[in-house]
Amino acid sequence: MPIDSQDNSKRVEALLNAAQTLSSEVENLHFSPPVSHIYNPLTYAWGPHEIYLRRFGAHRKKIIFLGMNPGPFGMVQCGIPFGEISAVRDWMGIETTVKKPAAENPKRPIEGFACTRSEVSGRRLWSLFQQRYGNAEDFFAEHFVANYCPLAFFDQARNITPDKLPSSESEPLYAACDDHLRKIIMALAPQWVIGVGGFAETRASKALAGIDVRIGKILHPSPASPAANRGWAEAASTQLAALGLWL
């Protein structure tokens, strides 16, 4: 059951400990070709991620939006889920040093907050939240955004999503991610987990089976999705209204 009695500082510490445990567990996993490089922002971009958890994870939530894994110009660069740089820096007020990963991909260099490439999915997601709630504090009063998997996988310049990994590699990864997601739910006690896309919804349904939380889905804002390109904000808002949220 959710930890109703914990105060804000204990809630934040639970999130921090869960993230650090997840980071350590996935660091020990092995991934074979065609994966050429693996990025774990919970190590080299821990600074901004810690600020994010401390600033916006101190209170219980109504809704947690759950993404798949870091994008190359978002969380990979700044440590924040769906981390469009301008949204993180200018709307959330987070900007700090990002280190370099141990093995940097020359096709996907880490530039931190100096990255000028836009994370389109993040731009669409955070723009919708900003339009509806105005300031970040009002949005995060009842909402939180997390990623299911903390790792980004590359075949040189090409992004590889976790669902494309062989089962021998994805199963131990999913086990660690499932455990982390359950810890987030225990700490934040949401009524809903909304998967941003089908993968996140499926993983949430499996990881949280038997836990008192409702699962839903919105369209993923990826530019690779024709449906998202036809008007993602309107589609996502309609889906949330159909669930009885954002009326």
Give 157-180 pLDDT, tens digit per residue: 999 999 999 999 999 999 999 999
2 confidence band (pLDDT: 50, 70, 90): very low
Q: What is the pLDDT, as a whole number, of residue 196? A: 98
Q: Find the domain containing 190 and state its range.
A: 14-239
User: Rounded CA gap, 100 and 140, in Å?
Assistant: 29
Side chain identity at residue 44, one-letter code? Y
Find the mean pLDDT for residues 63-88. 98
User: Rounded CA gap, 132 and 40, in Å?
Assistant: 31
The CATH number for 92's domain is 3.40.470.10
Q: Is residue 187 part of a domain?
A: yes
CB atoms within 10 A of CB 191: 14
Q: What is the pLDDT, as a whole number, of residue 6? A: 52
Share of the chain above pLDDT 70, in %: 98
Query: How many domains, in total, are found in the chain?
Result: 1
Q: What is the pLDDT, as a whole number, of residue 3? A: 45
Give 92-146 pLDDT, tens digit per residue: 999 999 999 999 999 999 999 999 999 999 999 999 999 999 999 999 999 999 9
> Mean pLDDT in the chain?
96
Contact of 82 with 121, CB cutoff 8 Å: yes
Q: Return the ∠ at Cα 36 (arms to 109 and 174), rounded to 5°.
A: 100
Q: Is residue 50 part of a domain?
A: yes
